[in-house]
Chains A and B, each alone.
Chain A
């Protein structure tokens, strides 16, 4: 009996392959709901960007392009370490797997630190959409754009909602990878059973993809100026 010599195989699955496909499919369904979740915000963003383009352009220019590009690169590096970690688990290389998972967590934390510095800069510039919101610097820097502060506020509301929810997903991802790293360190994964590494990897790649779209949509709206 296959169930007796495989403690990781739950009794309601016929074999390991079926169990793994079911787990993987479950994660894909979850990612489908995540696409719907982010899709609504992206849709709102696109509609307002069309309606208030000058304010969105001015707001986008006030963001730090270097920090945005760097963070995109950091997330791509983390996706590489995740892909290599899944490979290490397929090959049963425990030490390499733990190191790659730790590297992923490191890149994730790097991303959040850079994002934190960016938010701090926006706080000191009074760009957080509260009672203290102030668009005077954007008006002065773009005299020919006719900036309406209320519309600029909408850009920053969407900016903080999108990057905030994305950062929340990063924090959750780092937590998941912390657990996976602990399991890998304890030697829970073998070439036959490494489903948790695989589906946690799917989640991480998805969060990377969200940022791949956020980067051009938020940072690169109108960088053509001198």
Chain B
């Protein structure tokens, strides 16, 4: 699927990118459909889970993170995601317990 050139570029076949596209389009219509079904509190969780899967597919394959030899790219990405989770989790933990009792 991936071949090497002199600068170790990973060139994917175009059919591979079309496959990724088909998965992303299918997931978009799937999430819009699932939102109309009553799953209680799981509606939000499923919607965010599908969004995270789609985002991961874009990062790994369209943005070539899966095939990069640069460890720094992955380190920057993980640091940014970690920071984002720190912000969201700690803020929401604060707001959801502050007025309790």
Give the chain A neighbours of B28 by CB distance below 8 A.
69, 72-73, 76, 215
Interface of B is mostly: helix
Interface range for B: 35 or more
B98 to chain A, nearest CB (A): 11
Given A212-B55, A223-B35, A25 and B91 contact (CB-CB distance below 8 Å): no
Contact A25 B80 (CB under 8 A): no
Q: Is A28 an interface residue (CB 8 A)?
A: yes
188-208 of chain A: CB within 8 A of chain B: 191-192, 201-202, 205-206, 208
Do A28 and B83 form a contact, CB below 8 Å, given A73-B25, A80-B21? no
Residues of B within 8 A of A (CB): 5-9, 11-12, 14, 17-18, 20-21, 24-25, 28-29, 31-32, 35-38, 43-44, 47-48, 50-51, 54-55, 58-59, 61-63, 70, 72-73, 76-77, 79-81, 83-84, 87-88, 91-92, 95-96
| Partner-B contacts on A (CB < 8 A) | 16-17, 20-21, 24-25, 28-29, 31-32, 35-36, 39-40, 42-43, 46-47, 50-51, 65, 68-69, 72-73, 76-77, 79-80, 82-84, 87, 90-91, 191-192, 201-202, 205-206, 208-209, 212-213, 215-217, 219-224
